[in-house]
Structure 1
């Protein structure tokens, strides 16, 4: 029995050595395979991510809506043309038949017979007999009717597009009121003598025009 035991010990050591070698080789193989798989997975993920980003960009571009400028809008062009026509002399009519006796002048003072002094004149005075019909110079909405302390009974009409006209020195028989919608040529009142600041002048209509909140010369828009 002792002889057999002595013979098996060298064989056991050799077997253990072989097992250890196989274990080391197996572990090395496992690590090598795992490393290769990780590289493959990383490569696959990279290939998948790139087209996803490209697809997102493509979708974003496809959904982008261009900004439309008013100049590119045909309907807007029509409105702009109409707006331009509203400032044309052909759009307006003279508010009363007569000659201009006092011109518009906001820079060079004009002599006033009533006040006996030189002063600016914010509108035009159109001579006409008392009770002559005064008509709206263009279509619009009556903003207000009132008695001005200096210029007498007055009607103000908003025509849109920044234009407002004012008719003063009217008689007290005003035919419109605030909020009324008038057409070009509609009669709004008659010539009076209610302007204290122009009472020494012959009977006339004092007519003013504004554009975008600033006084303008009515003769630039109306063919008197």
Structure 2
């Protein structure tokens, strides 16, 4: 019995050594496979083409619109509508009606009320009393006052050197100095407050200036 037990120990050692060898080979195989997979993944990632857009990233930008004061900033955004003010589409007739007295600063025109010939700095547009008068273009109201000759008056600065004046209005105030108006906004109504034109039929007396010089409104506005 003692001889058989001694013969068994070498066989156990050989089996253990064999198991260890298989274990080492298996681990080496696992590391080899893992290394190969990592190289494959890295190669695939390097071959991925990410499209690059040439377009700039879109951003939502809210622009602040400045408060308009045509007296100080005649080129402000509210007046952009009249940048090409020589174009009749930039303007609208202040009231619906026919011109009864034309613009004439060189050749005197007869005045019924004053019974004499005199120059006429604007145009008279016939319209019934209380007809609504609208801003001829976007701008800022710079003055509202009662003129001794032409009655209640509203003056609007449109920027780009243009100022319009609306006279013979009713005494019911609709706008006041500092108000910002858009083209077509109602600024008053036709009245009979003009002393110098009281004998004429009901009308709006309308004047226009460009760069501080009187101009003929009919050159800019289609009536």
TM-score normalised according to structure 1 size: 0.63
Deviation per CA, 1:102-140: give whole Å up to 9, x if none.
000000000000000000000000000000000000000
4+ residue segments displaced more than 3 Å: 79-82
1:149 Cα deviation after fit: 0.1
User: RMSD between aligned alpha carbons?
Assistant: 1.6
- Contact 2:82 2:138 (C-alpha < 8 Å) held by counterparts: no
Q: Indicate how the Cα distance of structure 1 residues 81 and 164 shifts in structure 2: closer, same or farther if over 3 A, else same.
A: closer
Unmatched segments (≥5 aa) in structure 1: 1-78
Q: Indicate how the Cα distance of structure 1 residues 188 and 162 shifts in structure 2: closer, same or farther if over 3 A, else same.
A: same
Alignment-derived partner of residue 201 in structure 2: 202
In the alignment, the residues of structure 1 paired with residue 106 and residue 159 of structure 2 have an alpha-carbon distance, to the nearest angstrom, of: 27
- Contact 2:81 2:138 (C-alpha < 8 Å) held by counterparts: no
Q: Indicate how the Cα distance of structure 1 residues 149 and 91 shifts in structure 2: closer, same or farther if over 3 A, else same.
A: same
Alignment-derived partner of residue 116 in structure 1: 115
- Contact 2:86 2:220 (C-alpha < 8 Å) held by counterparts: yes
In the alignment, the residues of structure 2 paired with residue 214 and residue 171 of structure 1 have an alpha-carbon distance, to the nearest angstrom, of: 27
Aligned length: 145
Unmatched segments (≥5 aa) in structure 2: 1-78
In the alignment, the residues of structure 1 paired with residue 194 and residue 116 of structure 2 have an alpha-carbon distance, to the nearest angstrom, of: 16
Alignment-derived partner of residue 181 in structure 1: 180
Aligned pairs for 1:21-60 within 5 A: none
In the alignment, the residues of structure 2 paired with residue 207 and residue 149 of structure 1 have an alpha-carbon distance, to the nearest angstrom, of: 16
1:87 Cα deviation after fit: 2.3
Aligned to 1:126, what secondary structure does the other structure show?
A: strand
In the alignment, the residues of structure 2 paired with residue 212 and residue 163 of structure 1 have an alpha-carbon distance, to the nearest angstrom, of: 7
TM-score normalised according to structure 2 size: 0.63
